[in-house]
Amino acid sequence: MVAMTGVMKTIFVTVNVQLAQTFQVSYTAAAALTGVPLILSSATGFLSLVASRICGKRPVFLVSLLLVFVGAIWNTNVGSSFGQCMAARVFQGLGWGAFDALVLGSIQDTYFVSACSPYFPALGRN
């Protein structure tokens, strides 16, 4: 899921000109289909760290997965509506944050402290 999330973030970067022509918007507006979700994912990454301390990582991952899934399904059915495409991308951006912020901590949780590489702390502990 982490790899799929990483791919979905930048999927529109190479086709901004075609998106601008399809939706009949400026190139900047088409580029916002990538930029706005990335900005939202940075904010939700911080919020997901806080939420994971309160209710655990699993519920946060499940809610984030649901948001990404709803956004992906909605994005497949937008037709030529720029507003719907942006709304779908916003849902995806809201879900991406947890996959960016919580994955390293989840990997570290699977190892005993004595079994961890000395370089693990340099990567950051969630």
Per-residue model confidence as pLDDT tens for the chain (126 residues):
667 766 777 777 778 889 899 999 999 999 999 899 989 999 999 999 999 999 999 999 999 999 999 998 998 898 889 999 999 999 999 999 888 888 878 877 776 666 666 666 666 554
User: CA-CA distances (angstroms) from residue 52 to 47, 71, 72, 76, 99?
Assistant: 9, 22, 24, 30, 12
Q: Which two tokens stand for residue 40?
A: 């939202």
Q: What is the pLDDT of residues 30-57, one digit of tens each?
A: 999 989 998 999 999 999 999 999 999 9
Q: Where are the domains of the chain?
A: 2-106
- Of 31, 4, 6, nearest to 18 by C-alpha is 31
In the structure, how many helices (H) and strands (E) does the chain have? 7, 0
